[in-house]
Amino acid sequence: MPEQSSPLDLPEGDPFGPHNLPYGVFSTPGHPEDRRVGVRIGNHVLDAGAAAHALGSPYAGLLAQPTLRPLLAAGRTAWSDVRRALTAWVTVPGHRADIEPLLHPVDTVTLHLPYEVADYVDFYASEHHATNVGQMFRPDGDALTPNWKHLPIGYHGRSGTVVVSGTDVVRPSGQRKAPTDPAPVFGPSVKLDIEAEVGFVVGVPSAHGTPVPLADFREHVFGLSLLNDWSARDLQAWEYVPLGPFLGKSFATSVSAWVTPLEALDAARTAPPARDVPLLPYLDDSGEEEHGGFDIRITVEINGQVVSEPPFATMYWTAAQQLAHMTVNGASLRTGDLYGSGTVSGPETAQRGSLLELTWNGRDPLELPEGKRTFLEDGDTVTLTAWAPGPHGTRVGLGDVTGRIVTAP
């Protein structure tokens, strides 16, 4: 008889190898109420709390939990210690007998939103995206607003409608009025769009009144997920001047089920694009030791068809600058805060992170096998996937965030 292969014997180069180890929260079909912290390894999920108990680990208190919150709040030293322990559990042969029974095939479990989202903020940090949108919406003026290169523009979103990958998205209804319409009308959005983004997850809170400097990014931010900031362009266009996005973006924001710790992305750190305007000291990262960018390659699929490949490395503003900016007035961070990078669009047409840009506000429809697409139709499924360079030529898989559009009630 051939030896039974172990789920821990991963093919070389598996994007979910021991160099990755993203965290999530799962339940098994027999026990839907029993949520547990899981760590992905290959195509399996390790019940991390059960593993900690089985191995007599001091981290059972952080891992034998129904949410990531205790681990998020534990801070950078604990994050490293737990990651080192997990790496040993899945790689040291002597642990196999204890670990293997605690592995669940990932396609047999239900993945949940892994932490309660505290505050949700979304930025506007891709120069290519902002330029495209500016050209479409403000054709008579400069594409970038005068503040754009001086501060990372953002808005506060709705944390209660952040949903985990796989959750259906109900087409939102609301008011819209095109400039040529005599009066606003109410009804389901006819310009439902996506925004391909990366979401950063805050672990350690900050004191109210005390800004978080650029250099403290890693003390507060635990990791990242993929994020789709669903956007109803027709609702947005009518409502958002002068106070910004409101109902056009608050109906749903989808995140991937896996949170990849920043430590897994050390090999993906990259210098952001050169800044062509001098920055105020609290945003000036030219003297920072670590590169602030991340080389993350995103793919956008509609109904299984690749429509775009946005490169995160091209983002003008970094996550560290966004954190420094959102706290510079003394606003505090809480465990579970989530902030979106802003739509990721590269310089090429096939690198745009929204249908608004890909179709130039509906003027140039995409040709999909099932027909032309300007904005999303009911039944469409949008999936973002991504990977980043890992150590020694490996890839770090960032999983996927997917959602299907269902008809407005």
Nearest to 158 by CA among 82, 298, 253, 241: 253
Output the CA–CA distances (angstroms, integers) from residue 323 to 329, 341, 382, in the order listed. 11, 11, 28
Q: What is the DSSP string of 148-204?
A: TTTS--EEE--GGGEEETT--EEPPEEEE--TT-SS-EEEE-S-EE--EEEEEEE-S
Subset of residues 127 to 166 that bind ligand LGMQ2O6W, contact rule: CB under 6 A: 129, 133-134, 137
Alpha carbon 158 to chain centroid, angstroms: 15
- Output 136 or 215, the one with its CB closest to ligand LGMQ2O6W: 136
Nearest to 6 by CA among 101, 89, 144: 101
- What is the rounded distance in angstroms from the CA atom of residue 238 to the CA atom of residue 227? 25
Residue 327 annotated as binding?
Answer: no
| Among Mg ion, Ca ion, ligand LGMQ2O6W, none, partner that 309 touches (CB below 5 to 8 angstroms by kind) | none
Q: Note if 129 is an active site residue.
A: yes
- Which is it for strands 173-176 and 185-188: parallel, antiparallel or unpaired? antiparallel
**Shortest gap between Cβ of 132 and Mg ion (angstroms)?**
19
| Among ligand LGMQ2O6W, Ca ion, Mg ion, none, partner that 403 touches (CB below 5 to 8 angstroms by kind) | none
Burial of 243 (0-12, 13-18, 19+ CB in 10 A): exposed
Residue 240 annotated as binding?
Answer: yes
Q: Which residues of 133-158 are buried (b: 16+ CB within 10 A; e: fewer)?
A: bbeebeeeeebbeeebbebbbbbebe
Contact with Mg ion (CB under 5 A): which of 127, 197, 229, 285? 229
Q: Does 176 bind ligand LGMQ2O6W (CB under 6 A)?
A: no
- Output 229 or 285, the one with its CB closest to Ca ion: 229
Judged by the rule CB under 5 A, the positions of this chain that interact with Ca ion are 122, 195, 229
Residue 108 annotated as binding?
Answer: no
Alpha carbon 363 to chain centroid, angstroms: 29
- Output 68 or 162, the one with its CB closest to Ca ion: 162
Subset of residues 138 to 157 that bind Mg ion, contact rule: CB under 5 A: 157
**Element at 395 (helix H, strand E):** strand 395-406
- Residue 301 CB partners (closer than 8 Å, separation 6+): 307, 382, 383, 384, 385
Nearest to 74 by CA among 233, 165, 204: 204
Q: Of all residues in this chain, which one has the CB nearest to ligand LGMQ2O6W in the complex?
A: 342
Output the CA–CA distances (angstroms, integers) from residue 382 to 67, 137, 266, 302, 330, in the order listed. 26, 25, 29, 5, 37
Contact with ligand LGMQ2O6W (CB under 6 A): which of 16, 59, 89, 124? 124
- Output 229 or 295, the one with its CB closest to ligand LGMQ2O6W: 229
- Output 206 or 341, the one with its CB closest to Ca ion: 341
| Among ligand LGMQ2O6W, Ca ion, Mg ion, none, partner that 137 touches (CB below 5 to 8 angstroms by kind) | ligand LGMQ2O6W
Subset of residues 252 to 311 that bind Mg ion, contact rule: CB under 5 A: 253
**Shortest gap between Cβ of 211 and Ca ion (angstroms)?**
24
Residue 155 annotated as binding?
Answer: no
- Output 193 or 380, the one with its CB closest to ligand LGMQ2O6W: 193
Subset of residues 219 to 238 that bind ligand LGMQ2O6W, contact rule: CB under 6 A: 229
Q: Does 122 bind ligand LGMQ2O6W (CB under 6 A)?
A: yes
Residue type, 26: F
Contact with Mg ion (CB under 5 A): which of 40, 191, 249, 373? 249
**Element at 69 (helix H, strand E):** helix 69-74
Q: Of all residues in this chain, which one has the CB nearest to Mg ion in the complex?
A: 253
**Shortest gap between Cβ of 403 and ligand LGMQ2O6W (angstroms)?**
16
| Among Ca ion, ligand LGMQ2O6W, Mg ion, none, partner that 15 touches (CB below 5 to 8 angstroms by kind) | none
- Which is it for strands 103-105 and 338-340: parallel, antiparallel or unpaired? unpaired
Segments of 203-303 assigned E as strands: 221-228, 231-232, 253-255, 260-261, 269-270, 293-294, 297-302
> Which of 44, 129, 220, 325 is labelled catalytic?
129
- What is the rounded distance in angstroms from the CA atom of residue 318 to the CA atom of residue 285? 9
Q: Point out which span in 3-11, 26-34, 246-254, 324-332 binds Mg ion (CB under 5 A).
A: 246-254
Q: What residues are annotated to the active site?
A: 129
Binding site for ligand LGMQ2O6W (CB under 6 A): 122, 124, 129, 133-134, 137, 195, 229, 342-343
Binding site for Mg ion (CB under 5 A): 157, 229, 249, 253
